[in-house]
Structure formats: C-alpha cells, structure tokens
Structure 1
Amino acid sequence: MTSFRQLSIALAAVATTLGLQGQALAQDKVLNLYSARHYQTDEVMYDTFTKTTGIKINRVDADDAGIVARLRAEGAASPADVILLVDAARMASADSQGLFQPIQSAKLDAAIPANLRAAPGEGGVTWTGFSTRARVIVYDPMRVKAADVATYEQLADPKLKGMVCTRSGSHPYNLSLFSTVVERLGDQKGEAWLRGVVDNMARAPKGGDTDQIKAVASGECGVALTNTYYVARLIKSDKPEDRAVMEKVRVVFPNQATTGTHVNIAGAAVAKHAKNRDNAIQFMEFLASPFAQDYFANGNNEFPAVKGLKVANPAIKAMGGDNFKAETVPLASVAKNMTKVQQMLDRVGYK
C-alpha cells in the first residue's frame, strides 16, 4: 500500500515535471525581433501576432547598420530570431556576411514573388520582402514636361542640365536603384548614365527624400528622386505647408512603357543563430497575411508584396500609384552589383 508520504512525493514530482514543461512552453512562446522599422502602425501588427499565437515579441530597435553591427558582435550568442531591414541592398549585404539562415516555407513561396526574395540556395531562402516602395521622379511642372522625365534614363539627358537633385548616391535607396539600372543597361552604359546624372545636378547631393521634394517645390531643383511613401506622407499631412509643397510638384512612375518602375523592399530574415526558429518562421508567414499586408500598405504608405493583393490608400491613388507597372529585375541581383556600382559612383564624382 502506498503511504501518504510516498503519494506526496510522487505528486510533487509530477508537479515539478509539469512546472518545468510549463516553463519550457513559456520559453517557446517568445520571439526576439531586431527591427529597423520605426513605424507606430507596426505595433498593431506585433500585438495581433501575440494575441493570435501567444508568442511574446521582445523587440530591439536600431537602424540597419546598427542591427548588422550588433549581430556581428554577438555572434553565436545573439538572441535574435528575426531581422527586419528596410532595403534590399542592406538585406543582401547582411546575407553576404552570413547573418541569416535559409528557411523553407510553402506559404511564403506561394505568397511572395520570386523577384522580391533572395535566390533559393541550399536549405531554402535566406530573406524575403514583405512590403514594397517605388522610387519615383518628382518634377516642377512649370519648368519640366512629364514627357522629359518619363524614364530614369532621361535623368542623364542634357535637357535637364542644372535641374536634378538627389540624396547621396551611396545611400542604399539610390544604390539599389542604380544597381538595377546597371543590371539592365550593362556596365559601360550604366556608368555613362551615372555620369550624365551628375552632370545635370542642380547642387551636390544632400538631405533625405523629403528634402528633395521640397527643393523641387521651392525652385531649387527641377527634378528629384524619392520613395513613394515620402510623397504620401506629405499628401496626407495635416500641415498646410506640406500640402502646399505637393501642389507645386508632380509625380512620375518611370519606365511605364518599358521595364517598369524600380521597387525596393522592407524585408525579413531568420537570424543565423535563432533560438526560436519555428516561432521565427511563423512570424515571417504572418507578415505575408492579408492583415499584416494591409498595415504595411496603409500604415506606412507602402505597397503589399503578396502576389495580386491590392490595398486602397487614398494618398497612393492621388499620386497615381494604385496601378503601376513595377520592374521585375530580381532584387537579389543588387548584391552582386553593389560594390561595382559604388566604384562607378566614385569615378563619376557622385557624392
């Protein structure tokens, strides 16, 4: 017959076992996210993921360079499970440093176009785009005709001498665009194009994309490059001065009759040393859900990455971006061109 003491010991052992299992389960319900996205609307996405799955998100915020530096410093001891970066060039650079691991997901393969992901390798795909933004041309309609800025190639046309403004040529947004242009035109023509853009500049590159739009509105520049979400922010702004800026400029989605407008991504990857790999893949698949795609599109004025998904955004529609032709150059090709294009920029004097 089992004594009361023996029964108590047995029950205690069971309770201990259950407790340990509960702790392990609790540990499994964690996701450590390193994010370069600093948009308040993303908070709703994260909260919804946690409520839906029970997986708690611990987030570290930094810029892309800071996140990459931290991952390299932490090495195998890094707690990071998922990495969010905001540019294909940056994704490709981090991937080339061995900071991501390949994953396989039928859901992601079905949802995200191949040109918005890393090229498949042994073990799967290392990074995936989840939202896109177009790099468009803004111009002063009092000085420039729309037909004169219908393509990226026309930015090098002597007709625009002294009119072109951009941020730094080495900024990832421009570097990604230039890398895809070189991919299309070839090295010789690509470098000649970059030299022509430099020859047409109204001033030395400076500031961010919003500064370029405002410089066109003020008359300092006639033409500038910008990502679409900067345009949308000014359109939706509550400040009269911002809306006044947009009344003075026009927007062109370049290369609609040829190769399509350049698009970049915000993307995600599973960290090389992820301790919660299954949770990380589940989160990546969540980012491709209609719910998350809607927040990408309407929260930060981006475009959905999921095939065939259209999200209504009045600001995007106002600039003519609700139905444009996007280029299909694989963003993974950016990686192999980046160093070469940076050397081209140095040779032509593109600061």
Structure 2
Amino acid sequence: MIKKLACGAIILASSLFASNEVNVYSQRHYDSDKILYKQFEKETGIKVNAVTAKAEELVAKLAIEGANTPADVLITADIGNLYQAKQRKLLQPIESKILNENIPENLRDNDNNWFALTKRARVFVYNPQKVNPADLGDYFSLTQEKFKGRVVTRSSTAAYNKSLLASIIAHYGEDKALEFSKGLVNNFPYSPKGADKDQIVAVGAGDADIAIVNTYYLGVMLNSKNKKDLEIAKSLKIFFPAQETTGTHMNISGAGVTYYAKNKDNAIKFIEFLSSVEAQEIFAEANQEFPANPKAKSSEIVSSWGTFKEDKIQLNEVGKYTKEAVEIATKANWK
C-alpha cells in the first residue's frame, strides 16, 4: 500500500511539473526572446525551457524524435520553414480566439498550424549618392541594364531569398521568376556571399550600390553602439519595392504547437502571450522587426521609414513554391 502511495505521489509530482512548463525549440536567438520568456514565467508560473538551433536542425530533430519529442512549441523564421513543418506533420492545428484576433488572416496558417510573431520586409537599401530612387520600382527594376554590376544580395539558398522568389512565382508564374533571377544574376558584381548585414556593408563600402535585404538588419545597425555600423547605416536609404503592384514582400518569424506536444495548453498560452501587444512591442523595439499584431506599435526607427504597401498574399501560397524557387535559382545560376 505504501509503495502504491509512493508511486502515485511520484506520478502526481511529474504531472504537476509537466503542467508548469513549456518546452520550446526556437531558431530565434535574440535577447528580446529571453526577456519575453522571463516575463511569461513571471505572469503565468509556467517555466520556459528553450533549445535554440538553426531551423533545419530543429525540424530534423522534431522528425527524428517523433512522439518522444519533449518540444511543445516550434518557433522559426521564414514561411518556407513553417510550411515544411506543417507538410511533414510536425505541427498541429489549434483553436485560439486570442490568436485569431491578434494575428491577421494572411499571417497565419489557414488550418491554424502556425501564427506569425514578427514581420520582415524584403527591401532595397541603396547609396543615395549613386542611385536615383526614381529608377527603382518593383523587384524586376533591379534587372535593368543600368544596374549591371551594382546589385548585391545573399545566396539563393538563403531562406529569405527562396521565399522572395517563391512569392514572385505565386504572383507571376515560373517564367517571370526565371526572367527575374537571370536578370538579377547578370547585375551582380560578384558571386553572392555573406548575410544581409554583409550586403549593407558592401553598399556602404562602395562595392555595390543597391542591396536586397530584410529591413531589420538596417534597423539594428541604426540602433547600434558600434560607430562604424551606425555611420554606414546613416549614409544609406531604404526603398520599399512594388508599391504600384503587389506590395513589398513580407516574410515572418512564427510559432506553432508541435504535433506531439505534451503541454499543449501551456504551448497555446505561450504563443498567445507572444502575440500580445506588450510582447509584440518588445520584439519591435529590440529587433526592429514589424509587429505581426496590427495593434502593436513599431519602433521609432522603423516608424521613421513611413508607411508602405505590404504584399498581403496568404503566406501558405508563398511556402508551397519553395521547391520551385530553388529549381529556378539553379537554372539562373544564382549561387
């Protein structure tokens, strides 16, 4: 009888411990996220256990672990990664009135498998001494002969460029996407290298005149204590493409509840918390990302760029063309 009671106590203790935690696999590695984890713990009493790694590593880990995974939440950047996680049945649909109210329809999965946490605009950053903004327009404008040897961006294998190209396929078809890719490659001064910040630095150094990057990289540089980064960022201008057509391509970081989540209720509460105005404004201020929740305010730096037309395409429509985007980039010799 005593042994039975002891076993029961152990099971109960384990159950109570599990009910007071949420296990997170996250690609995000920012201080803002750590702040929010602590805030969530303080407000709910639910402990956040986070593992950070690259998106492909986390997705592979979830797939290998299967029903034995400890993860309750997957957080990753890029719609392609979220789309693939859903296709591989690593996420599950959830019902949340709070999330449906906080996150616009085009920024969440149509089956509620994932929800955006932040937005990133894919824009042009240019040297105003060398580029007339009147010569810029949609993404295709960078394929003009006048920009030969003047445009840089990172590799086509980078998630952000795969999704940009996938969005062009979704809007215009594969032939136009191939035309864009070939034209862009023709205007590179050298083979793509480095991350988005490296492209901005290249423009600042005079190695190129225009870079295709995500806005928050420039925002972080403008908020930097590094004098060199700040000097470069202040010398450049930002241009939001496709204002007369589809609107500027928007990518996201987002979250979903894992398929085998052991703490599903806590996972939903956690994502709901991250979608709140308070949490969204911490994301925005710390990382210079756009809030996914339209009620939240952007940072002062981001707000200074003004308003612009966003591409409001349902992001699942972008995610499903990721494979084709890779094939087209390969055909165009976009390294």
Output the CA distance in 2 between the equivalents of 1:189 and 1:23: 57
Structure 1 gap ranges (5+): 1-8
Output the CA distance in 2 between the equivalents of 1:138 and 1:16: 63
Q: Does residue 1:162 correspond to 2:166, yes or no? A: no
Residue 203 of structure 2: aligned partner: 216
The one-character-per-residue Cα deviations of 1:44-99 (angstroms, maximum 9, x if unpaired) are 21111111111111111111111112112211111100011011111112221111
Q: Does residue 1:66 correspond to 2:52, yes or no? A: no
Pairing of 1:80-95 with structure 2 (within 5 A): 80-95=71-86
Q: Does residue 1:296 correspond to 2:283, yes or no? A: yes
Q: Which residue of 326, 329, 333 maps to 1:342?
A: 326
**Residue 23 of structure 1: CA displacement?**
4.8
TM-score, structure 1 normalization: 0.90
**Residue 18 of structure 1: CA displacement?**
7.7
Alpha-carbon contact 1:37-1:61 (below 8 Å) kept: yes
Pairing of 1:258-277 with structure 2 (within 5 A): 258-277=245-264
Q: Does residue 1:132 correspond to 2:119, yes or no? A: yes
Matched letter for residue 303 of structure 2: K
Q: 1:312 to 1:188 in 2, by over 3 A?
A: closer
Q: Which residue of 309, 312, 321 maps to 1:325?
A: 309
Secondary structure of 2:119's partner? strand
Pairing of 1:49-128 with structure 2 (within 5 A): 49-120=40-111, 125-128=112-115
Output the CA distance in 2 between the equivalents of 1:27 and 1:244: 49
Output the CA distance in 2 between the equivalents of 1:113 and 1:58: 28
Q: Does residue 1:148 correspond to 2:135, yes or no? A: yes
Q: Which residue of 3, 6, 21 maps to 1:30?
A: 21
Q: 1:20 to 1:76 in 2, by over 3 A?
A: closer
Output the CA distance in 2 between the equivalents of 1:252 and 1:181: 18
TM-score, structure 2 normalization: 0.94
Q: Does residue 1:316 correspond to 2:302, yes or no? A: yes
**Residue 137 of structure 1: CA displacement?**
0.3
Alpha-carbon contact 2:291-2:298 (below 8 Å) kept: no
Output the CA distance in 2 between the equivalents of 1:310 and 1:252: 23
C-alpha RMSD of matched pairs (Å): 2.0
Secondary structure of 1:100's partner? coil
Structure 2 gap ranges (5+): none
Output the CA distance in 1 between the equivalents of 2:334 and 2:18: 50
Alpha-carbon contact 1:42-1:299 (below 8 Å) kept: no
Output the CA distance in 1 between the equivalents of 2:307 and 2:131: 24
Alpha-carbon contact 2:79-2:318 (below 8 Å) kept: yes
